[in-house]
Amino acid sequence: MIEEDLALSSDIVTCEDAALPGLRIELLTLERNIQELANAKAEYLSMIHTFNEECNRRLGELIKKLVKLREERLFMFEPKSPDSSNDDAYEKLTNASESFGKQHDEIFSQPIAELKARDRAEIRKNYRLAGRLCHPDTVGEGKKKKAEEIFKTLSTAYAKGDQEAVKKILEALQNGECLASNFEVMNDKALLKKKIDSLKTEKVHIENELERIEKDKIFQLLSHINDWDEYFERKKEELESQIHLLLIRSAIGDPERISFY
């Protein structure tokens, strides 16, 4: 009897699709690559966020003061003409002042995406469809915990107005891969291929995001700063010098303006 069971087991093993081992390796490699890319992205964003917070903390009040002084000098020495010939200068300075004020007072909060009516309808539809597929009350006991995690991720994405994330979750649920157990995925050729295709798309997306971040002006600046303390101290001295000079020129009626952009 035991020999028959072993023979049957051997037959089952040999019947496994020859493509499965290669697909499993490809899947695991992609998962590892994506994790490395995601870690790099998180590190980049954390560095930029920390730098921006430090910039606001150390230089924010000085920059606001300089913007205010320039605004006062513009009205003092270049009053707005009836023909609106210097409208551009006023608009630029006003926008700069308002923009910095918002940035300084609301340090990098994550805004909910503003969606058009059609986009709101689409994300609402996708959210409802996905919710029906992953709600913990609609799955078996063995998948309730995983369903709860997916539903929580889905709800967070919906609250942020993240259309792409909601759509990806819905597609994964419809393809049967999202709630499938790891054993089911690893032993089903079709599920493996779907998962691999999904991961390839995700990999390209993260790579594009990394490329965009690396081209960002702040990231480029950070790449050339060796000592943050030294950098901020130098910038502080430059700002204080410009403010001091502007105050002197205002006192003596000198209309020459200084650019800090």
The DSSP code sequence of 83-100 is T-TTHHHHHHHHHHHHHH
How far apart are alpha carbons 62 and 241 in whole angstroms? 11
Predicted confidence (pLDDT) at residue 260 exceeds the cutoff of 50: no
* 80 domain-assigned: yes
Q: What is the DSSP string of 11-59?
A: HHHHTS-TTHHHHHHHHHHHHHHHHHHHHHHHHHHHHHHHHHHHHHHHH
SS3 label, residue 216: coil
* 54 domain-assigned: yes
Q: Average pLDDT of 42-58?
A: 87
Report the domain count for the chain.
1
Average pLDDT, the chain: 76
Range of the domain at 234: 19-109+217-261
Q: Average pLDDT of 127-131?
A: 87
> Tell me: the pLDDT tens digits for 81-102?
555 555 565 555 555 555 544 5
What backbone phi and psi angles, to 5 degrees, belong to 63?
A: -65, -40
* 234 domain-assigned: yes
> Tell me: the pLDDT tens digits for 178-231?
666 666 667 788 888 888 888 898 899 889 989 999 998 889 999 999 999 999
pLDDT at res. 229: 92
pLDDT band at 67 (very low <50, low <70, confident <90, very high): confident
Least confident interval from 19-33, 93-107, 108-122, 182-196:
93-107
Predicted confidence (pLDDT) at residue 240 exceeds the cutoff of 90: yes
C-alpha dihedral sign at 78, 83, 84, 86: negative
* 74 domain-assigned: yes
Predicted confidence (pLDDT) at residue 237 exceeds the cutoff of 90: yes
pLDDT band at 16 (very low <50, low <70, confident <90, very high): low
* 160 domain-assigned: no
Predicted confidence (pLDDT) at residue 116 exceeds the cutoff of 70: no
pTM of the full structure:
0.56
* 64 domain-assigned: yes
pLDDT band at 106 (very low <50, low <70, confident <90, very high): very low
pLDDT at res. 211: 93
